[in-house]
Structure 1
Amino acid sequence: MLKHDLRILVVEDHPFQLAATQCLLNSYGFHHLTATHDAETALLLMRQAPQPFDLLLCDQCLPDLGGLELIGLASSQRLIQSAIILSSLSLGELEALERQANLRRLPLLGYLSKPLNRREFSTLLQRKP
């Protein structure tokens, strides 16, 4: 599957950040996007999808569930293939989340700081199996 054919679910609770992330992904050539503002709706969308999403791109600080927990639930139910955390947390906090994900064997490709950077996003996508 070509990287630009990825089916991406974007979960971000801030409307501006959600719109900006979608616009940036579109400008990078990614057009198979589904977006929502909370984990509950994200899980509903994932369960209704005909196949697992290729990538879950989510904020860590969602109002109803942490991003890492959302990744854990989605992964355990085989609703996603991989995930990236997009957050404005400090580097130390993001590294701690990545360590937790590795210990739990979650399909986390890594983390990115907001706003989404094309080069860094592409680098993480290269980790995708």
Structure 2
Amino acid sequence: MQDRKLAILVVEDHPFQLIAIQMHLNRMGFYHLTPALDADEARQACQRRTGPFDLFLCDINLPGTNGVALLEELAKSGRIQHAVLLSYQGEDELQTLEKHLQDIGLPVLACLSKPLDQAMLLRALDRESA
């Protein structure tokens, strides 16, 4: 899934972090990015798009909701194919959350610690291909 033509919905409520994530993804060769600062912007982006996003890259902590609830909503409505969630939580907590989300059938490739690590993201994208 490391196809650099992936359509990626990036949701991060801190504007500077959103820009930093987009720049990081651009340096990795991903250019088909749709940024959103909150759940409403993410929903609007999904409504404007004719098909699902290949990847949903989202901060877990969002104002008014959380990334897990938004992931569940967008996955159930067929708006996203795969997801990677980001947080400042510890690795053990993130691994537990990742397993739980996968066990309940959500399309989570990984729950990763911030700041976004290129190697860890690429490994997560490889999981889908395996």
What is residue 29 of structure 2 aligned with on the other side? Answer: 29
Return the offset for 1:2.
Answer: 6.0
Of all paired residues, the percent bearing the same amino acid is: 43
- Report if the CA contact (8 A) 1:94-1:111 is conserved: yes
Work out the CA distance in 2 between the residues paired with 1:52 and 1:64.
24
Distance change >3 Å, CA 2–CA 114, structure 1 → 2: closer
Cross-structure match for 1:119: 119
- 1:10 aligns with 10
Shift, 1:103, TM fit:
2.7
Q: How does 1:6-85 map to 2 (within 5 A)?
A: 6-85=6-85
CA RMSD, Structure 1 to Structure 2 (Å): 1.4
CA contact (8 A) 2:56 2:84 kept: yes
Equivalent-residue separation in structure 2 for 1:62 and 1:107 (angstroms): 19
Runs of 4 or more, structure 1, over 3 Å off, are none
Structure 1 length as normaliser, TM-score? 0.93
> When the two structures are aligned, how many residues end up with a matched partner?
129
For 2:32 and 2:19, locate their aligned partners in 1 and report how far apart those are by CA, in whole Å: 15
Superposition TM-score, scaled by structure 2 size: 0.93
Distance 1:109 1:96 in 2: 13
Q: In structure 1, what is the Cα distance between the partners aligned to 2:84 and 2:2?
A: 18
Tell me the SS of whatever aligns to 1:57: strand
Shift, 1:54, TM fit: 0.1
